[in-house]
A and B are shown apart, each in its own frame.
Chain A
Amino acid sequence: DVKVTQSSRYLVKRTGEKVFLECVQDMDHENMFWYRQDPGLGLRLIYFSYDVKMKEKGDIPEGYSVSREKKERFSLILESASTNQTSMYLCASSPGQGYSYEQYFGPGTRLTVT
C-alpha cells in the first residue's frame, strides 16, 4: 500500500511565524503535491514537484514555497503565516509520467493561524 505521511495532524501558529509542513512518501513516486482544502473552494494546488529539486507553481502559490531535497520528502513552507492561510493542507504523491496519474493523499494537517 502507498503510504503518505504528514508531520502533524493539527498545528496552531501565530501570525508572522515561519511554518514548515513535512510530507514523506514510501513508494518511490516521482511526483509530489501540496494542496489546501477550504469549504466551498475545494482542493486547490499550491505547488507540484516532479523530481528532486524540481518544482512548479500550482494555482495558488502566493505566500508559500517548497523544498524537495530527497525524492521521498516534500516540504511546504509558509514564510510568514497569515490568518488567511488557516486551512487543511494535504500532501499527495503519484507515480509520474509514463506510469499512472492517480494521486494518493496523506492524512492532512489542519493549520490554524491566530
Chain B
Amino acid sequence: QKEVEQNSGPLSVPEGAIASLNCTYSDRVSQSFFWYRQYSGKSPELIMSIYSNGDKEDGRFTAQLNKASQYVSLLIRDSQPSDSATYLCAVTRGSYGNNRLAFGKGNQVVVIP
C-alpha cells in the first residue's frame, strides 16, 4: 500500500468552476497534512497546511481532513488559468517522528478559459 495516493488522472475544469482533488494516506499516526502546487519546470510551493479534522479555508483554497477515513482533499473555488499546475499531497511520516514527509505523485489540473 502506497503511503500517499492521488489516484485521479488529469483534471480539466472550466474557468470559474470548482476543482476538487483527493488524497488518501496509509499511516494512521500522521499528524500534519500539506498541499503543494508545482508549475511545470518549477519546484513545489506550499499552499495549504491542515492539522485537525474539518475544513480550513485560505482564499479560494479549502483543505478538508478526515483522519478516521485517512483522506485529505483540496478544493479550488473560482478556478483561474493560473491554477493550472500539478498539486501534490504530502503527509508527515509518523514512523520517522514526523520530520519526514511522504508525497503523492500529484494531480494535474488544467483550467480551461
Q: Show the binding face of A for B, using Cβ within 8 Å.
A: 31, 33, 40-43, 45, 48, 50, 58, 90, 94, 96-97, 100-108
Are A101 and B43 in contact, with the CB atoms below 8 A?
A: no
Return 9 A-B CB contacts under 8 Å, by A number: A40-B105, A43-B88, A43-B103, A48-B99, A58-B100, A100-B49, A101-B31, A103-B46, A107-B42
Are B43 and A107 in contact, with the CB atoms below 8 A?
A: yes
Scoring B residues 27 to 43 as 1 if CB is less than 8 Å from chain A, else 0, what string do you get?
A: 00001101010000011
The interface residues of chain B, by DSSP majority, are classed as loop
Are B98 and A101 in contact, with the CB atoms below 8 A?
A: yes
Q: A104-B46, A107-B43 are in contact. Are A42 and B103 (CB under 8 A)?
A: yes
Complex: how many Å from CA A103 to CA B79?
25
A103 — which chain B residues lie within 8 A by C-beta?
34, 46, 90, 101
